[in-house]
Structure 1
Amino acid sequence: MYAERASRLPHVIAWRSTVPPGSPASRILPDGCLDVIWQDGRVYVAGPDTTAQVVSAPAGSRLFALRFADGAGPGVLGVPADELTDRRVPLDDLLPSAVVRELGEAEDPAAALEEFARRRWRTPERAMVAVAAGTRAGAPVGAIADACGLSPRHLQRRCRAAFGYGPKTLARIVRMQTAVGLARRGRPFADVSVAAGYADQAHLSREVKALAGVPLGELLR
């Protein structure tokens, strides 16, 4: 069982999951976000992924988490996102053990995580919020840089700190997420490729397999 909702904090989604008996491993697609996850009393950070991660957990495991989008996570954690790219890091490697112990022992992990994030909240950089919005709108990276008043070099550096990778990788990931969402709603793959901004269906297939690790049809199954 998986459910998500908007957090009280901007740019943040709260989600929870309980692993049912016999559940297969899950394929977690990259999404340009990082998550702080409470799992059965253990708290860790899932950094921004560049490719899909296949994860499994024992039946009955409970997970509560906050997903930080738009470059909001590094301000809360005090760590640049590119130090966490493609990593799963215990939270007590980043923050004092007393803080993490309080989270791990919380009776209401969802509320504890939100309070933890509220206490440490730093408003994400306006330019990085604009970068995230631009990539979701399908704007070219050069146009995004111009709109933010940043040189390509500065955009690259600041995107890596905010998202874990540069703007071109972020754009690829966001486009793949858009395509998968359309395909899951039943759109034909040829239509998906056009709507998501790929050159053609073959381009869509190559990109999904590169980022998700499996072809689009297998991913949907």
Structure 2
Amino acid sequence: MYSEWSSRLPGAVVWASTPSDTGSGRVLPDGCMDLLWHDGRLLVAGPDTRAYVTGGERSGWAGVRFFPGTAPTFLDVPAREVLNRRVELADLWPAARVRQLTSRVNAAADPASGLEEVALGLAADAGAPDPLLGEVVSALAAGRTVAATADHLELGARRCLGAFGYGPKTLGRVLRLQRALRLARRGVPYAETAACAGYADQAHLARDVRDLTGLSLGELLGGR
């Protein structure tokens, strides 16, 4: 069973997942990075360029999903270094600091609330992320073209790699996927979803969904 709720950290989401079986699942690309808890350990989930397939786990997970582009500031880890990876926090930070944070999470009433407290503390220590990154995400998520966004905000590829793990073109593609999924899940017909989300046509939507997720749109939506 999976549940999520808004965090007290602006833009972030707290979530918890308890597997009901050992079957596989998919974490779809969304432009985000997560701080994870699993079996008493802390990990970092980097941004994905393709669906991350899960499965075989019998114990629960918890996480804080940071707003796109903010986690590198809070975690002091460039996004490109953890692209398409799940990495032990102890491999990124000094062991003593990780032990201290892990103990705090493990001692909390539940791992999700413990992670949120840790995330709030990290954000307070790090200060606010560059507001330009939020503008980039908002523009692309609203359907503005990558070229227009990059030109208007003077977003360089190197800066984008550090904040998001990939360049503005891939970020725009990932955010367009999420926009299409939101529409389709509300029951918007696929052709209309494609047009509203910014695809050339329904065939373009179908190709992009399968390329990024490994499944058709119908399979992702449970056969609708």
TM value normalised by structure 1: 0.91
Paired residue type of 2:31: G
| Aligned-residue RMSD, C-alpha | 1.5
Partners of 2:102 and 2:23 lie apart in 1 by 26
List aligned pairs for 1:125-204, cutoff 5 A.
125-148=130-153, 150=154, 154-204=155-205
1:2 matched to 2:2? The reply is yes
Partners of 2:158 and 2:147 lie apart in 1 by 15
Partners of 1:34 and 1:107 lie apart in 2 by 24
The answer to whether the Cα contact below 8 Å between 1:70 and 1:124 also exists between their aligned partners in 2 is no
The answer to whether the Cα contact below 8 Å between 1:35 and 1:47 also exists between their aligned partners in 2 is yes
1:40 matched to 2:44? The reply is no
Paired residue type of 1:92: A
Partners of 1:110 and 1:27 lie apart in 2 by 20
Partners of 2:205 and 2:167 lie apart in 1 by 21
Partners of 1:114 and 1:217 lie apart in 2 by 34
Compared CA separation, residues 62 and 104, structure 1 to 2 (3 A): farther
Q: Deviations over 1:12-66 (max 9, x none)?
A: 111111111x25211110000011100121211110000001111433x221111
Paired residue type of 2:122: R
Partners of 1:102 and 1:63 lie apart in 2 by 19
The answer to whether the Cα contact below 8 Å between 2:150 and 2:168 also exists between their aligned partners in 1 is no
The answer to whether the Cα contact below 8 Å between 1:81 and 1:164 also exists between their aligned partners in 2 is yes
Q: Select between 97-106 and 121-130 the one with higher mean Cα deviation.
A: 97-106
Identify the match of residue 80 of structure 1 among 70, 75, 78. 78
Q: Deviations over 1:75-104 (max 9, x none)?
A: 111111011101111000111223322343
Matched positions, count: 215
Partners of 1:14 and 1:203 lie apart in 2 by 33
Q: Select between 107-116 and 7-16 the one with higher mean Cα deviation.
A: 107-116
1:207 matched to 2:208? The reply is yes
Partners of 1:53 and 1:146 lie apart in 2 by 32
- 5+ residue gaps, structure 1: none
The answer to whether the Cα contact below 8 Å between 1:4 and 1:14 also exists between their aligned partners in 2 is yes
Does the residue aligned with 2:107 lie in a helix, a strand or coil? coil
Q: Percent identity?
A: 49
Paired residue type of 1:196: A
Paired residue type of 1:115: E
Partners of 1:129 and 1:67 lie apart in 2 by 15
Does the residue aligned with 1:120 lie in a helix, a strand or coil? helix
Q: Tell me which residue corresponds to 1:99.
A: 97
